[in-house]
Amino acid sequence: MKEKILNFFRDIVKEMEKVTWPTKEELYESTKIVIVVTILISLFTWVVDTALSEVLKAIL
């Protein structure tokens, strides 16, 4: 059992060495893109919600 656990953690270390981590610049750019897209989707959702609310108010 102990050997299986040790092998598991050795495998984790081996796999983590294969990971390609983003540079700071790549991370900043990706973060900016995520923030901008989130804001755009939020604005779109707000506009559609507001428009549908007004339409429903007019109908009812």
Place of tokens 């092998």: 7
Boundaries of every domain in the chain: 21-60
pLDDT attached to residue 10: 96
Task: Give the span between the Cα atoms of 45 and 53, in whole angstroms.
Answer: 12
Q: Tens-of-pLDDT digits for all 60 residues of the chain? A: 989 999 999 999 999 999 999 999 999 999 999 999 999 999 999 999 999 999 999 998
pLDDT attached to residue 23: 96
pLDDT attached to residue 56: 95
Q: Write out the two tokens for 16.
A: 């983590």
